[in-house]
Structure 1
Amino acid sequence: MTNKYMKHNAGKKNRIFSLITCIAFSLLFILMVQALPLFGATAIALASSGPSIYFSEDSWDFGEIAPDELPTHIFKFENIGDEVLIIKEAKVSCESCIDPLISTKELNPGDSAELKITVNSLDMIGRFTKRIYVESNDPVNPRVVITVSGFIKEKNEPTSKVQPKPKPQTPFMVGKSYFSQGEYDKAIIEFEKSIELDASHTESYYYLGQCYLQKR
């Protein structure tokens, strides 16, 4: 009789524990679901005001360069924000070998401009990778890093016909391309992929918010 009573109490306690556990997990799930819209609202709020700089590409490979050649490449950018974008300066990691030239330093909302990069092959030999730091008053992305690379041949060394090729595009760059074309649903998918790869990538959150803002 005693064993039967003890087994009955143990079974009752297990059922109560299971019920409490189920209720706790249900409440936790409800709280998580309710918190999701807050993240989206925060992203939209960040994207809803201020200047915003957008480069259609952020890297370029010049391929092989003759020693007396001065190759150039133009990076196009625009202000996709709702206030005036001011370019403060364009710094380079090698002032004697890279010459950056910005077409205009003040862009109204919707305006576009160009960053022209000229490589001085006289000061370099062999493989190179250089960075240009474009600083602006964009509150979310105040410094954009542009990368150029290539291979400068030595004198009297034949140059093979190697075509310049851009850096393979990441989900973030693909998303920005879709964004510039107004294909916001496709851009959202790519920015979400970018966030999955790097949850600390603030630009992905920013452009994700811009997409939802444009879809309103």
Structure 2
Amino acid sequence: MSAPSSRPASSGISARRPRRLPVWPLYVVGLLPALWGFYLGATNQLGADPVKSFEHLLGLWSVRFLILTLAVTPLRETTGINLIRWRRALGLLCFWFALFHFAAYLLLDLQALQLRNLGPVLADIAKRPFLLLGFAAFLMLIPLAVTSGSWAIRRLGSAWGKLHKLIYPAAFCAAIHLLLAAKTLRLEEALYLLALILLLLWRLIPRARRRRLFARA
């Protein structure tokens, strides 16, 4: 899963490619926070409300990886640093933490163990706007994760880029979900919210204008 982008522009900034390192270690390191959170929960180190703390931890990591995914293209356009090879992994980590976050809400918070009886779950989501927005963001991430492979790019052709533009409304819903879910917005969460807003606003600047701006830099 990744944000769509164009090929690097021939500007004053030359693309500086990092050394060709394997991508798989990123998945290993990226999933460690989930294991750490599970360990903290199993050893009663998540505070007075461990379920909420565990959900919050997973949700924040999903947002962090979403920000990193969206930041790949602006970073390349402004500095020439090309991290495209890692963008798919970052996007998939965002999806997996969103899945863990939703699963924790479903299985630990609501204790909805029977998937055939999801009526109360859907009713709970529908009546609370922040849950509805978070669920909408998660649903939009699913097709992006499913079609993140090279086979999907070949099969879908130009439709692949259009489909993966879903990351932008997903990020918007995630930002509002983060804002509404926090009873008190801490500095860290406020910075994540600001980062999401700036990264979305970046996409509103015409690509040609962005190229001219950084060609002069």
- Comparing both structures, which one devotes a greater share of its residues to helix? 2
Answer whether TM exceeds 0.5 for this pair.
no
**Which one has a bigger Cα radius of gyration?**
1
- Comparing both structures, which one devotes a greater share of its residues to strand? 1
TM-score normalized with structure 2 length: 0.30
